[in-house]
Amino acid sequence: MIVDHARGLHERIADSGTGELEATPCEILAHRVGMFATGGQLIRQPPAILEWPAFDELPDISIERTEFLLHREKRSRVLNCRVYLEPVAHYAFVRKQERDFGIVIAGYLAGVETIEQRAEVIGAHQVRLADGREIASRHILVATGARPEFLPFVEGLEHAITSNEIFDLATFPRRLLVVGGGYIAVEFASLFRRLGAEVTEIMRAGNILRGFDEDMRDGLREEMARAGVQFRFGCLPMRIGKSSTALRVDLSDGETLEVDQILIATGRRPNTSGLGLEAAGVALDPAGAVVVDQDSTTNVPSIHAVGDVTNRINLTPVAIREGHVLADHLFAGASAPADHHNVASAVFTTPEIGAVGLTERQAVERFAIVDIYKTNFRPMKATLTGGGERTIMKLVVDAASDRVLGAHIMGSEAGEMIQVLAIAIKMGARKADLDATMAVHPTAAEELVTMRKRTARIEREAPARLEASEPDPERVSMPISMPTML
C-alpha cells in the first residue's frame, strides 16, 4: 500500500487490527516527538506531548529499504521501514520530512531552544527577531549557508526551479532540462536520467565539473552521455514560456526545447542578504561571503561563521568540522584550527567521482617533474554482466619526493574509496607506500596499489615549486557557490 500521510500514525495502527503497520521514517519520528505530517506540512502539537514514549509502545515495523537510528540518552534502537518509491512525489515528501524531523529531534535532545523566526544581527552581541524581541549572547554564530543563484537575464525564469524545490515536485518530470555543469547539475541530471526521464543538460562552459581533473571530467561526461543524458555546451536559456502542457525554452544557440521542468543549477551564493552583518561591522567579500580567520571568527571577535556562508570549501562535512572546531575553541580552550588542506570530495553521479589533492594541471604548475599513473578498465561486475561501464583511476605524484599529490577515481563506490585513500594522502603517503601494500582481490580498489607502470612524466623548466613537506593549499573540492559552475 501507499502510506496515506493525511492520517495520523496512531489512527492507522488502531485501524490495522493487528497492531502492525508499514510506516515511513518521518512518521515514526513524528510519533516520537509528538509531531505529525499532514498534506506535506508540519503541524506542531502542544509541548506536553513532547514526552517520548517507551520504545516498546511502538509496534515492530516491516523491514526493507530504509534504516533510521534514533537515540534516547544511552538507549538506541534501529527502526527499519519500507519507503515506497512510487509515486515519486511520495519519495520527495519522505525526504523532506526526514530532514525536517531530524533537525527537530537533534535540537530537542541537545536541549536547544529553537526559535522559528527570521533574525537580524544588530550588534556585536545582539540579534533582533521578526516579532521585535531582542536576544543577547556572548557569541553569535552565522551558519545560514548559501542560496541558489539565478540567471538574471532569462525571461520567464519564475517557471524554473532550483535544488531547493526538486524534492517537492508534485509529479515526476518526464522531460527535464538542467542548466549548469557543477556538482548539483550533474548529480540531478544523472539521477533523473536513471529514474527514466529524458534529460538535457546545458551550460556555458565547454565541459562539466570545472576544477576536477580533466580525465575525470571527460570520463563522466562520456558515461552520462552513454546513459542517455543529452549535453549542449556553450549554451544557455534565453526565454522560458509556459503552456498548459509544457515549458518552452528558447536557447542561445537558436534551438527551442519543450520540457516538463527546468532545474537551474548555476551555482550558489552565500546567504548573507538582510542579516544586518555589514551594519554590525562584519566584513564580507565581493561575493557576499563572511570573511573569517582560521578559527572561523570574523573581524568582530564575538561574531563567528562556518559553512557555505564563508565560501571556503562548500561541503557538508567541512561545515560540520568547522562547527566542531569552533565549539572546541570557544568552550573547551582548544587551539587547533580546522584543516582545509587535502579535503576529499565526491560527486554522486552514476558512476561516481572521488577526488583528493591536486589535479594533473595543478601539480604541473607547482612541481618541476610530475609523474602520472593512470588506468582505465571495465570492472569485473561489468565484464560478468555484459555492462559497458568503465572505471578510471589516476595518481598524481611528485617525481622528486615520490609523494602522492592527488588521487582521482571515477567508478562505482568512488566516494568510499577516496575517503580511505584520503587518509594516506593526508599523512604524506609516497607512491612506494602504495606499491608496498598488498592488493585485495577481486576488487576495483586493488588497482590503486598495482599501478606500477608510469603513464606519463611531465617536466617544467621554471616551476613555482612547493616543498614536498608543505601542506598543499590547493584541493579539488570547488565551492559550489561559485557562479562559474555554468
CATH number at residue 349: 3.30.390.30
- Quote the pLDDT of residue 481: 30
> Residue 468: which pLDDT band, with cuts at 50, 70 and 90?
very low
Q: Cα dist. 64→8, 56, 80 in Å?
A: 22, 20, 7
Q: How far, in Å, CA of 250 to CA of 435, rounded? A: 53
- Quote the pLDDT of residue 464: 52
- Quote the pLDDT of residue 109: 62
Cis peptide before 442 (omega within 30 of 0): yes
DSSP for 24-60, please give it: -HHHHHHHHHTEEEETTEEEEPPGGGGSPPPGGGS--
- Quote the pLDDT of residue 84: 27
Specify the CATH number for the domain of residue 312: 3.50.50.60
Model pTM? 0.75
Grouping H, G, I as helix, E, B as strand and the rest as coil, residue 377 is strand
Distance of CA 443 to the CA centre of its chain: 27
Q: Which three cell numbers stand for residue 318?
A: 567541512
Structural domain boundaries enclosing 285:
119-144+269-331
Identify which of 380, 382, 378, 375 has the alpha carbon closest to the alpha carbon of residue 390.
378
- Residues 455 and 365 occupy one common structural domain: yes
Does residue 171 lie in a domain region?
yes
- Quote the pLDDT of residue 151: 81
Do you know the residue count of the chain? 486
Does residue 151 lie in a domain region?
no
Q: How far, in Å, CA of 182 to CA of 142, rounded? A: 26
- Quote the pLDDT of residue 104: 55
Grouping H, G, I as helix, E, B as strand and the rest as coil, residue 9 is helix
- Residues 315 and 290 occupy one common structural domain: yes
- Residues 162 and 195 occupy one common structural domain: yes
Does residue 197 lie in a domain region?
yes
Cis peptide before 301 (omega within 30 of 0): no
Higher-pLDDT residue of 379, 25: 379
Q: Compute the C-alpha angle 462/463/468, nearest 5°.
A: 145
Residue 303: what residue type? I
Does residue 179 lie in a domain region?
yes
> Do residues 120 and 128 make contact, with C-beta atoms less than 8 angstroms apart?
yes
- Residues 135 and 233 occupy one common structural domain: no
- Residues 280 and 309 occupy one common structural domain: yes
* pLDDT, tens digit (0-9, with 9 covering 90-100), for 52-108: 334 344 333 332 222 332 332 223 333 333 222 222 333 333 444 455 555 555 566
Mean pLDDT score across all residues of the chain: 80
Does residue 4 lie in a domain region?
no
What percentage of the chain reaches a pLDDT higher than 70? Answer: 72
Tell me the mean pLDDT in the region 8-20. Answer: 44
> Residue 120: which pLDDT band, with cuts at 50, 70 and 90?
very high
Does residue 288 lie in a domain region?
yes
> Do residues 373 and 453 make contact, with C-beta atoms less than 8 angstroms apart?
yes
* pLDDT, tens digit (0-9, with 9 covering 90-100), for 408-467: 999 999 999 999 999 999 999 999 999 999 999 999 999 999 999 999 999 987 545 444
- Residues 466 and 359 occupy one common structural domain: yes
- Quote the pLDDT of residue 374: 98
- Residues 259 and 279 occupy one common structural domain: no
Does residue 425 lie in a domain region?
yes
Q: Which three cell numbers stand for residue 155?
A: 525571461
Number of other residues whose CB lies within 10 A of the CB of residue 288: 18
- Residues 304 and 440 occupy one common structural domain: no
Tell me the mean pLDDT in the region 262-287. Answer: 96
- Residues 258 and 285 occupy one common structural domain: no
Grouping H, G, I as helix, E, B as strand and the rest as coil, residue 126 is strand
Q: How far, in Å, CA of 238 to CA of 201, rounded? A: 15
Q: How far, in Å, CA of 222 to CA of 228, rounded? A: 10
Identify which of 259, 248, 165, 267 has the alpha carbon closest to the alpha carbon of residue 210.
267
> Residue 333: which pLDDT band, with cuts at 50, 70 and 90?
very high
Grouping H, G, I as helix, E, B as strand and the rest as coil, residue 128 is strand
Domain final residue, candidates 278, 305, 331: 331
How many domains, in total, are found in the chain? 4
pLDDT at 380 over 60: yes
Does residue 409 lie in a domain region?
yes
- Residues 293 and 255 occupy one common structural domain: no
Q: Which three cell numbers stand for residue 426?
A: 593526508
- Quote the pLDDT of residue 87: 29
- Quote the pLDDT of residue 461: 72
- Quote the pLDDT of residue 107: 60
Q: How far, in Å, CA of 93 to CA of 97, rounded? A: 6
Annotated catalytic residue 139? no
Element (H, E) at 216: helix 214-227
Q: How far, in Å, CA of 274 to CA of 127, rounded? A: 12
- Residues 103 and 204 occupy one common structural domain: no
Tell me the mean pLDDT in the region 472-484. Answer: 34
Tell me the mean pLDDT in the region 339-357. Answer: 97
Domain final residue, candidates 213, 247, 266: 266
- Residues 34 and 47 occupy one common structural domain: yes
Lowest pLDDT segment from 61-65, 136-140, 236-240, 294-298 = 61-65
* pLDDT, tens digit (0-9, with 9 covering 90-100), for 151-181: 888 999 999 999 999 988 999 999 999 999 9
Catalytic residue, candidates 5, 159, 324, 441: 441
Rg, the chain, Cα only: 25
pLDDT at 253 over 80: yes
pLDDT at 115 over 60: yes
